[in-house]
Amino acid sequence: MLKVENLNAGYGSVNILWDVSMELNDGEVVAVLGSNGAGKTTMVRAITGMIRPTSGSIVFNGEELCKKPSRYILDAGIVQVPEGRQLFTEMTVLENLQMGAFSKETKEHFQENLEKCYKWFPKLEERAKQAAGTLSGGEQQMVAVARALIGMPKLLILDEPSLGLAPNIVDDILNVAKTLAKESNISVLLVEQDITKALAAADRGYVIENGHVALSGTADELAANEHVKKAYLGI
């Protein structure tokens, strides 16, 4: 469903991503692993059109999306939960979720998708009228994920959902992502620094180092890889 080939991107004259290639199939959870500054978020920004790649190709369900504007990419079904959540903190939970319905189609399906989100994250229904900024970190991440789901993604990109959260909340969020992939055939690109949890949730993964794809393989292969063990798992 997504095929990224030889993607080069960066900021101004500084290139960050070097010939990055990766693939995602329908219903697959694919982890993107790498240390701070490796280029993971830059890759997410390039795929979602927030920065303009200098070269390469991003084909999504047969359509070339490289260099298309971000709104176009969103309408094509690529929805991200950005690093740091980026909620509207003064607005209520419900208002934040309403912001996820950007297109005619997602507006029409808002109520049914809202109910699904409340099933995934019952806490959000209890907190619907509360200002998002007053929620706990874990609850805020749930709002961010739910807001993305209201956008009816075909490809959901999660950029470090575990940041600053307790392990059980991370498990909840990764379980939702995994179940969505398997039951609703949504593909999930999971950027994560918690490598153990990411590989437990993912089917396959890519390791990014200095803007290059250093390694790729099934989650089991990566978890067993000596370099991954030494460099990322400390074993």
Our finding on whether 42 is near ligand ATP (CB under 6 A) is yes
Our finding on whether 38 is near ligand ATP (CB under 6 A) is yes
Q: How far apart are CA 118 and CA 59, in angstroms?
A: 33
- Give the position of tokens 């991370």: 170
Q: Smallest gap, in angstroms, from Cβ of residue 39 to ligand ATP? A: 4
Rounded to a whole number of angstroms, the distance between the first and last alpha carbons of the chain is 35
Q: Smallest gap, in angstroms, from Cβ of residue 193 to ligand ATP? A: 6
What kind and span of H or E run contains 122?
A: helix 122-126
- Which window, 10-18, 26-34, 81-89, 177-185, contacts Mg ion (CB under 5 A)? 81-89
Our finding on whether 106 is near Mg ion (CB under 5 A) is no
Q: How far apart are CA 28 and CA 186, in angstroms?
A: 8
Please identify which residue in 2, 40, 123, 146 interacts with ligand ATP, judged by CB under 6 A: 40
Residue among 210, 198, 187 nearest 47 (CA): 187
DSSP 147-201: HHHHT--SEEEEE-TTTT--HHHHHHHHHHHHHHHHHH--EEEEEES-HHHHHHH
Our finding on whether 13 is near ligand ATP (CB under 6 A) is no
Q: Smallest gap, in angstroms, from Cβ of residue 161 to Mg ion? A: 12
- Which window, 18-26, 37-45, 131-139, 140-148, contacts ligand ATP (CB under 6 A)? 37-45
Q: Between 139 and 159, whose beta carbon lies closer to ligand ATP?
A: 159
User: Tokens for 20?
Assistant: 């990055």
Q: Between 193 and 225, whose beta carbon lies closer to ligand ATP?
A: 193
Please identify which residue in 4, 17, 31, 41 interacts with Mg ion, judged by CB under 5 A: 41
Number of residues written out for the chain: 235
Q: Smallest gap, in angstroms, from Cβ of residue 186 to Mg ion? A: 22
Q: Between 41 and 96, whose beta carbon lies closer to Mg ion?
A: 41
Q: How far apart are CA 235 and CA 229, in angstroms?
A: 5
Q: Between 128 and 163, whose beta carbon lies closer to ligand ATP?
A: 163
| Crossing angle (nearest 10°) for helices 137-150 and 110-120 | 150
User: Tokens for 39?
Assistant: 């280029």
Our finding on whether 135 is near ligand ATP (CB under 6 A) is no
Interacting residue ranges for Mg ion, rule: CB under 5 A: 40-41, 83
Using CB under 6 A as the criterion, which residues of the chain lie in contact with ligand ATP when the complex forms? 11, 16, 34, 36-42, 83, 193
